[in-house]
Amino acid sequence: MGFVFFAFYRYLFIDKTRPKWMPASERIGNLRKEGGMLMASGNISRLTLQRLPTYLSYLRNLPEDSPPNISAAAIAAGLGLGEVQVRKDIASVSNVGKPKTGYPVSALIQDLEHFLGYGVCNRAVLVGVGNLGLALLSYSGFAEYGLHIIAAFDVNHALIGSRINQKPVLPVEQLSSFCRESGVQLGILTVPACAAQSCCNALAQGGVRAVWSFAPVHLQAPPGVLVQRENMASSLALLSYHLKTQSGSLKESETNSLAAEKKIGGKSNG
């Protein structure tokens, strides 16, 4: 689903979304403020941000009878990552780990949730109530990531005025004003490519600071507005390439096996 987008969003606007009850700057020594935002020393890379939600999900789903502590090696093995990379990533947001004992699981979960801002609820709107839009509106798991879709927008008069999963469907002409009046921070675009840029503009005009786009087109946004595009074509290309290379390796292996069998058979006949 691409929930790593929320890591980017939280990171860019972390100072405003960070819960007040646990200031990370008091417990995480390698964080500093820069431009009004809490940043890690040397800045956290996008790749690290992409991995943080994966660590959090893995830790949350550990069996209940798991040991209270976990090592970087165990996390790396469970996720198929390098141990050194895991240590570096976790060190950028938490200092609860200790040599030989590892990380207290509950404390590490808390630090990851805190850094990513998952304890804060952010208002969002969805634009484009087609098949994908309907699926996203019906998905209840967004709450786990601090995302609350409060309304949807569309041009279809048959949908306008209805409610989907208790969320009103409003005319797209009201998008900017609704976002401004309701304090919407994030917009989700599930519209055709031809309508995506105008909808992105309307979201930005309404004060939205982050756009999660499923439209197959590159979008332009003003400074201060983050656009994350879910490029399904790229993901499918990676999968197709993997299948192609695996198929090629399999065929090569079969060819080599047949050649070896013929060679052995020839020697036996001799």
pLDDT score recorded for residue 42: 41
pLDDT score recorded for residue 176: 98
SS3 189: strand
In angstroms, the CA 109 to CA 56 distance is 6
Rg, C-alpha atoms of the chain:
24
244 found inside a domain: no
Domain boundary among 60, 88, 116: 116
Question: 70: how many CB neighbours lie within 10 A of its CB?
Answer: 20
Residues 70 and 13 in one domain: yes
pLDDT score recorded for residue 209: 93
**Which is nearest to 171 in space by CA: 182, 181, 157?**
157
Residue 143, CA atoms < 13 Å, CB-side half-sphere: 4
Domain boundary among 116, 144, 160: 116
pLDDT score recorded for residue 254: 62
pLDDT score recorded for residue 88: 94
Question: Is the Cα dihedral 88, 93, 97, 99 positive or negative?
Answer: positive
Question: Is the Cα dihedral 19, 20, 24, 27 positive or negative?
Answer: negative
Domain boundary among 84, 116, 148: 116
Per-residue pLDDT 10s for the chain (270 aa) are 445 555 555 544 444 444 333 333 333 333 333 333 333 434 678 788 889 989 999 999 999 999 999 999 999 999 999 999 999 999 999 999 998 899 999 999 999 988 887 767 789 999 999 999 999 999 988 887 788 999 999 999 999 999 999 999 999 999 999 999 999 999 999 999 999 999 999 999 999 999 999 999 999 999 999 999 888 777 788 888 888 887 766 666 666 666 666 666 555 555
In the chain, DSSP finds a helix count (H) and a strand count (E) of 11, 11
Domain of residue 199, residue span: 122-230
In angstroms, the CA 81 to CA 130 distance is 37
